[in-house]
Homo-oligomer: A and B are copies of this chain.
């Protein structure tokens, strides 16, 4: 929210200067967890950095790098996060922004977690796709493994029509549980809007809403794990992506939503790119994140016209065709326009 301009930011000053280890009876940090959804694009595949869950635990699901926030050790939430990520994966975070603070939902079921966090503060970090060097732990996994229905790069993913749509339709038929306040939108409408059913347009930013809908409908593995009412009723519940521990998949969904939204009005794609790149590579990266294919010539016009990039003068050969000019991010746009970004709008991809 407040870091659009500086990009890399907020050093960790006088580290833990005021952190004597005395007052131990008071442990105020207990209950505040920090989670990082670290995103990169590797070989046109958007990936997130995850740590394999404890293989002894049932399920052995993945987790995002996380840890408790201790204000005696870290002056800011962000520095605490950076320290945890560094210790758990060896990675030094670049760009990071806060996402959302969740009150843990499925915390009863988390036997393997040491700290019973009351709230977890999710962060989104964007970084370049460095292979595995610098990584002491953790692995990059395509975010579409957790959310296969979000991958529209090869058209509408089959899983929607085959596994999701019929079950959501069935779920919409069942009456909602009696709660004092009904949600103001009916189940059927929510399903239609979230998943672009019945001719409704697909909105690539509704990643979180879609996952929450699947969770509520008892179709996500996490819903079963948490003992959600209705989750056990499915006799033929399909596998809808890899589950994660605790509410980490929800945090990742929020991260994808935010990335997809923000890429359009802030020049954050360049956090994912190497210093020099061709416009085609840039386009492929945007498409990896957003899904639908963009018109190449218009993409060029857009990006160049907005002053987001400048040619380096070099060309990249071996592209299988005419050599492509290399470009770099023009940092000065930040000083010029109020909200520069890759203003792409998806083609009218109905259903």
Contacts and interface: CB of A to CB of B under 8 A. Distances in A.
Interface residues of A, number: 55
A28 B118 contact: yes
A193 B118 contact: no
A185 B5 contact: yes
A185 B179 CA distance: 51
Nearest to A209: B2
Secondary structure at the A interface, as helix, strand, loop or mixed, is loop
- Give how many copies assemble into the complex: 2
A128 interface: no
Contact of A101 (B75, B98, B190, B254): B98
A101 B102 CA distance: 10
Nearest to A338: B203
A77 interface: yes
Contacts of A193: 5, 334-335, 338
Interface in A101-130: 101, 103, 116, 118-119, 121
A1 interface: yes
Interface stretch (A29-37, A132-140, A296-304): A29-37
Contacts of A77: 101, 103, 119
Given A2-B209, A32-B119, 5 more contacts: A2-B254, A4-B209, A9-B183, A71-B103, A203-B339
